[in-house]
Amino acid sequence: MNSSAASPAPGPLVAGLVMARDVSKTFGSRKALDGVSLSVAAGEMVALIGPSGSGKSTLLRSITGLQTIDAGSGQIDVFGVCVQKNGRTTGAVRAARQKLGMIFQQFNLVGRLSLFSNVMLGALGRLPGWRGLLGVWPGADKTRAMAALHRVGVADYAAQRANTLSGGQQQRGAIARALVQGAKGILADEPVASLDPVSARKVMELLVELNRRDGLGVIITLHQVDYAIRYCDRVIALKAGKVVYDGPSTSLDTKQLIDIYGPEFEDAFWETKA
Amino acid sequence: MTDAAHAAGPIPKAPRKSLGAWALDVLIWGGVLMLLVYSVGDVDLGNIGKLFSNAESTQTFARELLRPDFTDWRIFVEKMWETIQIALWGTFIAVFAAVPMGLAAARNVSPVWVVTPVRWLMNLLRSIPDLVIGLLFVVAVGLGPLPGVLAIALNTAGVLAKLFSEAVESIDKGPVEGVRATGATKLHEIVWGVIPQVAPLWTSFALYRFESNSRSATVLGLIGAGGIGQVLFDRMNAFDFRDVSAIVVVVVIAVTLIDMLSQAMRKRLL
């Protein structure tokens, strides 16, 4: 959306997209996250990988405050503002969510609303209460929603109910919703796991384009290691709630993959081994 | 993910009902049977023969009923209409009250300290029969349709709030999280994430209650809460069985029409 985002400005200190320090989360007796610390800069494209149950989704959901982390020293900052501390979300979490588009595996559109209405919901965070409650959207926001739908290629289905659309169409609608939010970053939780390979590639390419052209920071959890390597510059791997790899995707080798996934690591490739 | 190691060895036995489960079944059904036998005397089941031995009075009664007298049909239809209006307003007020109560009583929307007291209130409203509430309101505001409206409103509010809250508890939480993740407020989440998911079911429940309320409103007339029931009661006391018969015909036709109408509406919704 803004043209100056093409290169990460070195001048003033730009607060990073996410800064997590010593984050833990326990479900019953199982540690989903175990002292995770990481920081992601504003314009990065980062893949979060790891076997199922390694804590990828939990981490993403904690960043946007859909989940609280364990009480203690753990803290999460989004764009330099603390959103979670000592096991509670702070008052700043709503403002932070507005700047972060969240893409879910199951799309999480409201099925009985039209695709257009779903995308309009992206404006809720910045409209005065009554307008958002009654669905009286300002004209400028409507135009913005249609532009977003046009950009992701599903403007033709704007009037259709979301639950009549295919998975790929719904997921692109979800991305359009993030665009209407005016998000500065996108968190995508297994965005392609429920899609066929063709739709999956389209969605991945869309996310890459938002990163490269609009300078949006993208953190994406992926089952498929080949997708992580192909589309993302940096990979963070989790195993049993701990960060076991954090570095450029190009230097992930077989030994490290065996470390992360075990000897059957090739199962974690969708198409072919890279 | 099928593992070759799991498939080896003898085929496991099919699950069997445990002895404890058998004993419980016998206890429950045996208990119900005993209760039925024990209650035969208390409900005067032995007197069922009077239905036939009293043949003469039964016959006059039946003969009168078979010859409905429609001379007062204007009054009957007018009063039937009043009954339907009682049901309509009673249901409308109930829906109004049940929406906030239903949301407040849903565990996935409201905190426990709200859910528990609201559920108590709902149970209280449902546990008092509308006939009893009606009697209280007749004392309070006098004879006429208003006590009927209020009685139906209170009772139905309790029933609908329970049905509404159960519908809310069975929604998919994904879309709600989708709305929350945009930076929306709690109220936005309910309006855009919850209500669209439950709207068809809620409407269907409300229409169904309107159907059954138009029957309840008829009965409420018996205690002086207006409508066709009051006329029915008066004619019954005056032994005008031919009028009673005509009134029953009017009620049956009206209730059937409402049933059909609301069924057609509900079908369109789901």
State how far the alpha carbon of B208 is from the alpha carbons of A138, B81, B259, in Å.
Answer: 38, 19, 8
Name the percent of chain B lying above pLDDT 70. Answer: 97
Query: Under an 8 A CB cutoff, do A125 and B193 touch?
Result: no
Least confident of B17-31, B50-64, B77-91, B156-170: B50-64
Interface test with B, best of A121, A161, A170, A187 (most B CBs within 10 A): A121
Q: Helices B145-169 and B195-220 sit at what angle, rounded to 10 degrees?
A: 150
What confidence score (pLDDT) does residue A5 get? 40
What confidence score (pLDDT) does residue A250 get? 87
For residue A7, tell me if it sits in a domain.
no
User: Which candidate, A94, A101, A149, places its Cα nearest to that of A122?
Assistant: A101
Binned at pLDDT 50, 70 and 90, residue A272 comes out as low
CATH code at position A162:
3.40.50.300
Minimal C-alpha gap between B201 and chain A (Å): 13
What confidence score (pLDDT) does residue A269 get? 79
For residue A98, give the chain B residue with the closest CA: B183
For residue A140, tell me if it sits in a domain.
yes
In which domain, by residue range, is A90 found? 18-269
Distance between CA atoms of residues A244 and B20, nearest Å: 51
- Report ipTM (2 d.p.): 0.87
Centroid of chain to Cα B3: 52
A181 contact B CB<8A: yes
Distance between CA atoms of residues A232 and A44, nearest Å: 9
What confidence score (pLDDT) does residue A102 get? 95
Task: Check if the beta carbon of residue A230 is closer than 8 Å to that of residue A274.
Answer: yes
Binned at pLDDT 50, 70 and 90, residue A264 comes out as confident
Q: Taking all residues of chain A, what is their mean pLDDT, rounded to a whole number?
A: 88
What confidence score (pLDDT) does residue B1 get? 45
For chain B, the structural domain boundaries read: 19-65, 70-269
Distance between CA atoms of residues A175 and A222, nearest Å: 17
What confidence score (pLDDT) does residue A2 get? 43
Q: Any long-range contacts for B213-216 (C-beta under 8 Å, 24+ apart)?
A: B213/B87, B213/B90, B213/B91, B213/B152, B213/B156, B214/B83, B214/B84, B214/B87, B214/B254, B214/B255, B214/B258, B215/B255, B216/B87, B216/B130, B216/B152, B216/B155
Distance between CA atoms of residues A261 and B228, nearest Å: 75
What confidence score (pLDDT) does residue A213 get? 93
User: Which candidate, B213, B190, B209, places its Cα nearest to that of B201?
Assistant: B209
A137 contact B CB<8A: no
Q: Does position A9 have pLDDT exceeding 80, yes or no?
A: no
| Helix and strand element counts for chain B (H, E) | 13, 0
Binned at pLDDT 50, 70 and 90, residue B7 comes out as low
Distance between CA atoms of residues B146 and B131, nearest Å: 13
Residues A27-50 have pLDDT tens digits of 988 899 999 999 999 899 999 999
What confidence score (pLDDT) does residue A274 get? 43
Q: Does position B153 have pLDDT exceeding 90, yes or no?
A: yes
What confidence score (pLDDT) does residue A179 get? 94
Q: Does position A12 have pLDDT exceeding 80, yes or no?
A: no
Q: Is B255 left (phi over 0), alpha (psi -120 to 50) or beta?
A: alpha
Q: How far apart are the first and last CA of chain B?
A: 38
Q: Which residues of B touch A132 (CB under 8 A)?
A: 184-185, 188
Q: Does position A148 have pLDDT exceeding 70, yes or no?
A: yes
Distance between CA atoms of residues B119 and B121, nearest Å: 5
Rg of chain B taking only CA atoms, in angstroms: 26
What confidence score (pLDDT) does residue A100 get? 93
Phi and psi, residue A234, nearest 5°: -125, 140
Distance between CA atoms of residues A119 and A253, nearest Å: 40
Query: Under an 8 A CB cutoff, do B182 and A106 touch?
Result: no
What confidence score (pLDDT) does residue B219 get? 87
Q: CB-side exposure of A167: number of CA atoms within 13 Å?
A: 17
Q: What is the DSSP letter of A114?
A: B
User: Which candidate, B202, B172, B175, B168, places its Cα nearest to that of A162?
Assistant: B175
Beta strands, E only, B189-256: none
User: pLDDT: is B160 or B219 the higher one?
Assistant: B160
What confidence score (pLDDT) does residue B65 get? 82
Task: Check if the beta carbon of residue B58 is closer than 8 Å to that of residue B51.
Answer: yes
- Chain B, 115 to 134: residues with Cβ < 8 Å from chain A are none
For residue A92, give the chain B residue with the closest CA: B183
Interface test with A, best of B182, B191, B194, B270 (most A CBs within 10 A): B182
What confidence score (pLDDT) does residue A185 get? 94
What number does CATH give the domain B70-269? 1.10.3720.10
Q: Which residues contact B238 (CB under 8 A, 6 or more apart)?
A: none
Q: Does position A120 have pLDDT exceeding 70, yes or no?
A: yes
Q: Which of A66, A106, A110 sits opposite B193 (nearest CB)?
A: A110
How does DSSP assign A75-89, residue by residue? EEEETTEEEEETTEE
Q: Which residues contact B243 (CB under 8 A, 6 or more apart)?
A: B68, B69, B72, B235
What confidence score (pLDDT) does residue B57 get? 74
User: Which amino acid belongs to residue B55?
Assistant: A
User: pLDDT: is B46 or B123 the higher one?
Assistant: B123
For residue A6, tell me if it sits in a domain.
no
Query: Under an 8 A CB cutoff, do A124 and B174 touch?
Result: no
Binned at pLDDT 50, 70 and 90, residue B6 comes out as low
What confidence score (pLDDT) does residue A3 get? 41
Judge residue A253's burial from the number of C-beta atoms within 10 Å of its C-beta, 0-12 exposed, 13-18 middle, 19 or more buried: exposed
For residue A94, tell me if it sits in a domain.
yes
Q: Which of B34-48, B141-155, B159-173 has the highest mean pLDDT?
A: B159-173
Q: Does position A69 have pLDDT exceeding 70, yes or no?
A: yes
Which residue in this structure is represented by tokens 């409209």?
A127
Query: Under an 8 A CB cutoff, do B174 and A97 touch?
Result: no
Split into its structural domains, chain A has a count of 1
Residues B73-121 have pLDDT tens digits of 999 999 999 999 999 999 999 999 999 999 999 999 999 999 999 999 9
Q: Does position B2 have pLDDT exceeding 70, yes or no?
A: no
Q: Which residues contact A28 (CB under 8 A, 6 or more apart)?
A: none
Binned at pLDDT 50, 70 and 90, residue B270 comes out as low
| Model pTM score | 0.81
Q: Is A259 left (phi over 0), alpha (psi -120 to 50) or beta?
A: alpha
- Chain A, 1 to 60: residues with Cβ < 8 Å from chain B are none
User: pLDDT: is A231 or A264 the higher one?
Assistant: A231
Q: Does position A144 have pLDDT exceeding 60, yes or no?
A: yes
What confidence score (pLDDT) does residue A15 get? 66
Q: Which residues of B touch A177 (CB under 8 A)?
A: 178, 182
What confidence score (pLDDT) does residue A67 get? 92
